[in-house]
């Protein structure tokens, strides 16, 4: 039986909904920056589960923390105090400009919680008329209905209408575009410091400072979606630390527990105060297992000099990719922060990502024409060299000058 036939048969018999365009490979093991498929082939993983396994696969200290917690208590209920949850919340507030934390299970849930909190704060402070939210073109905030509405990309929204009312979309970097949408109804502005799925597009410091001023002048809350940029991905624990602008609410997830599902909404005290018993909840949010993994992840990240390592290796990766951009006409621009880096092409990037997969390098497509690099934060310069060499070979083979 041919490989193609067996793959087609597996596709037909697979009872899992086909909501992903999966590559024809089955991953069974991970170690550090490496993944291994069912055939024993090794892959250099520059996806990290899309910025999730921040400290690499099968990290021994995190595995130990998970095992110990599994032997003690996996789940009880948020009707009771959970010590690990309190400890993780304390760490997150110490690291951020926020005072309170709500735990959930994913980035989309964190965005939903942020939207609800912003609207409830505006409702109680100003009245029911103030409920509209401004998001941005090219954004991606998640797949639940509220997060999907905030996501200004038609390809994700098609077929799921009617969407949640009260959302408007501005042009990134265009202050006049934002100002034209602000009214007495505006309660929040929501953005990613670096738009990840939209093509690794960073917001400029000057623009963000103007947005912060606009929010302050009009009683608008500023929400930062740090689901992909947080937990050290950009070289500081939160990306906003490098931008000179403090948000009022932060959505966090992905790398927070190195692969165990967890999300968090961080907020300043006056905003968090509107969320009283009965206003929001999550059955599994902040459970003992997830917070044990989260605590281990944050402690390792802070105690082992990883943030400085991210800044150094992020610059190194960007420099190496710029060399490729100078060499290959198909490559256009290198952009990003820390170890969230994109290489834009003059055409769709899927062909490049597929060819790299075949040569043992895992990458993702962002924004259609951008090759996205989100390796584990512990990646070495030698591993970056390996990845760039593979990409160089792929670009040379696919797009040789005629």
Residues 382-397 pLDDT 10s: 999 999 999 999 999 9
The stretch 61-84 carries a mean pLDDT of 97
> Helical H runs in 330-380?
350-358
The stretch 26-49 carries a mean pLDDT of 97
Show the tokens assigned to 167. 């959302």
**Of 6-15, 58-67, 335-344, which range is least confident?**
6-15
Provide the 3-class DSSP secondary structure of residue 172.
coil
Nearest to 327 by CA among 258, 261, 400: 400
The backbone region for 159, taken as left when phi is positive above 0, alpha when psi lies in -120 to 50, beta otherwise, is left
What's the DSSP call for residue 77? Answer: -
The stretch 119-125 carries a mean pLDDT of 98
Query: In whole angstroms, what is the distance from residue 252 CA to residue 263 CA?
Result: 6
Q: Is the pLDDT of residue 3 over 70?
A: no
What's the DSSP call for residue 171? Answer: P
User: Could you tell me the pTM of the whole model?
Assistant: 0.94
**CB contact at 8 A, 371 and 365:** yes
Q: Specify the pLDDT at position 401.
A: 63
CATH code 3.40.640.10 region(s) in the chain: 73-303
Question: Parallel, antiparallel, or unpaired for β 34-37 and 42-45?
Answer: antiparallel
The stretch 14-39 carries a mean pLDDT of 93
The stretch 117-133 carries a mean pLDDT of 97
What average pLDDT is seen over the chain? 95
Name the CATH code of domain 3-59+305-398 (choices 3.40.190.10, 2.70.70.10, 3.90.700.10, 3.90.1150.10).
3.90.1150.10
DSSP 173-233: T-HHHHHHH--TTEEEEEE-SEETTTTSEEPPHHHHHHHHHHHHHHT-EEEEE-TTTTTTT
CATH code 3.90.1150.10 region(s) in the chain: 3-59+305-398
Q: Specify the pLDDT at position 10.
A: 52
Q: Specify the pLDDT at position 316.
A: 98
Q: Specify the pLDDT at position 8.
A: 45
Q: Specify the pLDDT at position 197.
A: 93
Q: Specify the pLDDT at position 1.
A: 41
The CATH number of the structural domain formed by 73-303 is 3.40.640.10
The stretch 273-283 carries a mean pLDDT of 96
The stretch 266-289 carries a mean pLDDT of 97
Query: In whole angstroms, what is the distance from residue 300 CA to residue 118 CA?
Result: 32
Please report which confidence band the pLDDT of residue 19 belongs to, taking 50, 70 and 90 as the band edges.
confident
Please report which confidence band the pLDDT of residue 4 belongs to, taking 50, 70 and 90 as the band edges.
very low
Q: Is the pLDDT of residue 7 over 50?
A: no
The stretch 180-208 carries a mean pLDDT of 97
DSSP 263-332: EEEEE-HHHHTT--TTS---SSTT-HHHHHHHHHHHHHHHHTTHHHHHHHHHHHHHHHHHHHHHH-TTEE
Please report which confidence band the pLDDT of residue 13 belongs to, taking 50, 70 and 90 as the band edges.
confident
């Amino acid at each position: 039986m041919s490989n193609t036939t067996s793959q087609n048969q597996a596709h037909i018999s697979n009872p899992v909904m086909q909501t992903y365009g999966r590559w024809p490979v089955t991953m069974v093991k991970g170690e550090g920056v490496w993944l291994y498929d069912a055939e024993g082939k090794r892959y250099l993983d520059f996806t990290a589960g899309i910025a999730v396994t921040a400290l690499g696969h099968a990290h021994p200290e995190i595995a130990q923390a998970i095992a110990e917690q599994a032997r003690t208590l996996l789940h009880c209920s948020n009707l009771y105090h959970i010590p690990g949850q309190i400890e993780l919340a304390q760490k997150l507030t110490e690291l951020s400009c926020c005072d309170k934390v709500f735990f959930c299970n994913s980035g989309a849930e964190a965005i939903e919680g942020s939207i609800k909190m912003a609207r409830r704060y505006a409702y109680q402070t100003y009245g029911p008329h103030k409920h509209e939210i401004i998001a941005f073109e090219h954004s991606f905030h998640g797949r639940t209905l509220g997060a999907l509405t905030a996501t200004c990309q038609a390809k994700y929204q098609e077929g799921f209408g009617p969407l949640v009312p009260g959302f408007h979309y501005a042009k990134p970097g265009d202050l006049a575009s934002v100002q034209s949408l602000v009214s007495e109804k505006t309660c929040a502005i929501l953005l990613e410091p670096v738009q990840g799925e939209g093509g690794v597009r960073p917001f400029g410091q000057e623009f963000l400072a103007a947005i912060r001023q606009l929010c302050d002048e009009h009683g608008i809350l500023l929400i930062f979606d740090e689901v992909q940029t947080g937990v050290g991905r950009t070289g500081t624990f939160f990306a906003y630390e490098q931008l000179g602008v403090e948000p009022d609410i932060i959505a966090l997830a992905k790398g927070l527990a190195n692969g165990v599902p967890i999300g968090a909404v961080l907020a300043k005290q006056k905003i968090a105060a509107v969320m009283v018993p009965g206003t929001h909840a999550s059955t599994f949010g902040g459970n003992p297992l997830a917070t044990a993994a989260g605590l281990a992840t944050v402690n390792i990240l802070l105690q082992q000099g990883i943030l400085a390592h991210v800044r150094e290796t992020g610059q190194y990766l960007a420099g190496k990719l710029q060399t490729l951009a100078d060499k290959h006409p198909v490559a256009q621009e290198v952009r990003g922060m820390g170890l969230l880096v994109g290489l834009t092409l003059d055409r769709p990037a899927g062909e490049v990502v597929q060819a790299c997969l075949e040569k043992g390098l895992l990458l993702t497509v962002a924004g259609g024409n951008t090759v996205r690099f989100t390796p584990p934060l512990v990646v070495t310069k030698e591993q970056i060299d390996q990845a760039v060499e593979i990409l160089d070979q792929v670009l040379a083979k696919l797009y040789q000058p005629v």
